[in-house]
Structure 1
């Protein structure tokens, strides 16, 4: 199941990266290393590399519904001047105009949404979200589906610091 989820995630990352740089071709991602719940990956895009860390939820609520494949990603794109950009990838289309909340311990970060993804609403808060992930004990991602279903995903933060360190020197 985990391998299937990772393969799906890699495909989603390529699609997202393709939207960001449609004229550039991206190669298939390579796993650099797994650090507990987080994996570090890279792929070539144009003349540079894109590196990212990715994890899947440890718990999905409500139970008994099809959540699809959900992931949390932090990407590094040196060629595009993007450093540690957090992104929530949902397995379903998110309700138009809704927000995704990322709660780490007692800190809440708000993400704007488009289709199946969410990004930090205030880009200046991206470093604070990443720092909270590194120092946090638990992370929950709350979203609302296009159908109006409130969903919640728990993520382990074990291995996030080591995986981010692994992609620190992405070039």
Structure 2
């Protein structure tokens, strides 16, 4: 992944988390389709893994920068929080569906991002990601366009292992 791609993802992630000041991310290591990164914010370290889609549908529209992130924020007692980040505003009150091996996880939306609707399901989603080979994320844009993104899960387990001791 390019530095521009990571910087864009970081800016989107910080904006969605309401964090105004943070340092640029440091790439820890790339694990096939997933990169592990960290940055310092307000005196604590935030670590995350990030990937970009291998396919975007419909192909005829400009999707902007699309990412799927799993973050660790020990200073905020947040462990392995999945988040979908879109390059466009999502339809208000819509849901994003993440499907891995026939199991679907529902995410709620706010602006250009989505989080697991039932936080108790976050560990199950992360476990499914570790055990799966591919993941599909389906969303509806603010304009009403149904979109779909395919992700490779190759390297996700190693990337998550890399950030498990984030402090």
TM-score by length of 1: 0.94
In 2, the alpha carbon distance for the partners of 1:161 and 1:115 equals 29
Instruction: Kindly report structure 1 stretches of 4+ aligned residues shifted beyond 4 Å.
Output: none
CA RMSD after TM alignment: 1.1
2:143 is aligned to 147
In 2, the alpha carbon distance for the partners of 1:63 and 1:13 equals 25
2:16 is aligned to 16
Say whether residues 1:33 and 2:33 are aligned partners: no
In 2, the alpha carbon distance for the partners of 1:170 and 1:112 equals 26
Where structure 1 has 5 or more consecutive residues not aligned to the other structure, the ranges are none
Say whether residues 1:168 and 2:161 are aligned partners: no
Aligned-pair distance for 1:46? 1.3
Aligned-pair distance for 1:107? 0.5
Where structure 2 has 5 or more consecutive residues not aligned to the other structure, the ranges are none
Residues 8-87 of structure 1 correspond to what in structure 2 (within 5 A)? 8-17=8-17, 19=18, 21=19, 25-87=21-83
Aligned-pair distance for 1:5? 2.5
Aligned-pair distance for 1:12? 1.4
Aligned-pair distance for 1:116? 0.3
Aligned-pair distance for 1:63? 0.8
Aligned-pair distance for 1:126? 0.1
Residues 7, 24 of structure 2: 8 Å contact kept: no
Number of paired residues? 166
Aligned-pair distance for 1:26? 1.3
In 2, the alpha carbon distance for the partners of 1:97 and 1:14 equals 22
In 2, the alpha carbon distance for the partners of 1:98 and 1:151 equals 12
TM-score by length of 2: 0.96
Per-residue CA distance 1:47-105 (angstroms, 9 max, x = gap): 21000000000000011110010000000000000000000001100001100000011
